[in-house]
Amino acid sequence: MRNRFSTQAVHGGEEKHKPYGALTTTIVQSSTFTFENSAEILDFMQCKAAGDRPVRDEYGRYSNPTQSTAERKLALLEGGERALLFASGMCAITTAMAALLSSGDHLVMINDCYHRTREFALTFLGRWGIETTLVPTAQSAALAAAIRHNTRLIFAETPSNPYLRVTNLPEIADLARQHNLLTMVDSTFATPINLRPLEHGIDLVVHSATKYLGGHNDLLAGTVIGSCAVLSQIEQARGVLGGISSPNDAYLLVRGLKTLDLRVQRQNENGTRVAQFLEGHPAIQRVYYPGLPSHPDYAVASRQMDGFGGVVTFEINGDAERTGRFIDRLRLPYIGPTLGGVESVVQQPAALLSLDPAERRKAGITDNLVRYALGIEDADDLIQDLSQALAGI
C-alpha cells in the first residue's frame, strides 16, 4: 500500500527504529566514517568501482546518514527514483548544469526565472563555451525554433520569479523527447504539494529547499530529483565540487518536510484570498497570481497545478517612493529577500536588486512592483493589514 502525501511527508524515507531509540532522525555530525578492517574497505571500494551505490558512508563530502534520510524523503514526495541534497538551491542548479553540459553544448532557458540562474547560464556557462538562448514563456514556436543540433537541455522555472508565469510542462516534455533532450524545472515556488513536474514528463526537478521545503527560514539547502541514471552523473560532480548540505541542515529539512502539506495548504489559501482582495482595490494597478483569471497563464495553471501558491506579486498605483511608503506601513510581514517560511515576507524588488535602472526595466522589474510571500498567518489579519497600509498612502 502506497501512503498518501501527508503520511509520506511524516514517515517517508526514515528508518522505523533509529539509533538509541530516538523518535526523530539522528544528526550524524561526522565528517569521516571508519571501517572495521581492511576487508571491509576492499568490499566498499569494489562496490564503488562496479558503479553500485555503497550501502554505507565513507566521507562527508560524498554522503552522510542524515543527508540520505532527507534525500529519500524528497524523492518520495516528488515521485522520483532518487534525490540529491546540496548546500543551496543555486548549488543544485549549477552543479547539475556543470555535470550535464560540456563545451560546445547549447542550453535553452525560459527567460522569466530567477536572475541568478540566468546570470550563471549567460556569464559562467558562456565562459566555458556553452551558449544559452533565452525564450519567453508560453511561446511554443520560439521554443521550438531555439533548439539546435547541439542543444542538450531545456530549463524552466514554474511558477517563475517574480511574475509567477506558469510553463506548460507537457508541451516542453514532448518537444524535448522529439529532439532527445533533457529537461530541468525549478519548482521551488510550487512545491510537490502544488506541482510534481516528473509526472508531466520532465526529467529533473530542482528546489531551493531553503524556501517552502524547510519552511522556517533556518536552513540553506537545495535538491535535484530524477532518475538514478541521470543523478549518478550529478552525484559525481557534487563529490568533486563539494557543494554538500550539512548534517544539521539536512535534519532541519527532514523536520520541515513533515509539516509541508499543512503549511502550503494554508499558504495557498492565503495567496488566493490576498490576490482577490488586491485585485479589487483601487490603489492597486495590477496583480500577478496564477489563481486569478486575469493572469496570462491561468488556464495552464488550472490544468497543471493542485494549488496556486503563497506568493502574490502586484503593482501599486504610484512611483517607487509611494511603493516604499506602502511597504513601510505594513505591520505583519518582515521586509526581506526570502519566501516560503511560516512568516510573511514582503519586498520591493527594485530596491533589493543590484541592477541599474535600465537593466531592471529590461528585466521587467518596475519601481512600483511588490512581491508578497505569504506565511501561515490568518488571512483576515493579512488583509486587514494590507487595507490599512493602502489607506495610509
Encoded amino acid at 143, one letter: L
Residues 206 and 224: beta-carbon distance below 8 Å: yes
Q: Which residues are catalytic?
A: 61, 114, 186, 211
Q: E strand or H helix at 40, and its extent?
A: helix 38-49
Closest CA to 83 of 273, 213, 240, 278: 213
Cell of 116: 541568478
CA nearest to 70, candidates 20, 22, 29, 12: 12
Cell numbers 499558504 label which residue?
267
Q: Which three cell numbers stand for residue 258?
A: 513533515
**Is the separation of the CB atoms in 154 and 172 below 8 Å?**
yes
Residues found in the chain: 393
Show the beta-strand stretches assigned E in the chain: 82-86, 106-110, 131-135, 151-157, 182-186, 204-208, 222-226, 284-288, 311-316, 334-335, 345-347, 369-373
Q: What are phi and psi of 373, to 5 degrees?
A: -95, 110
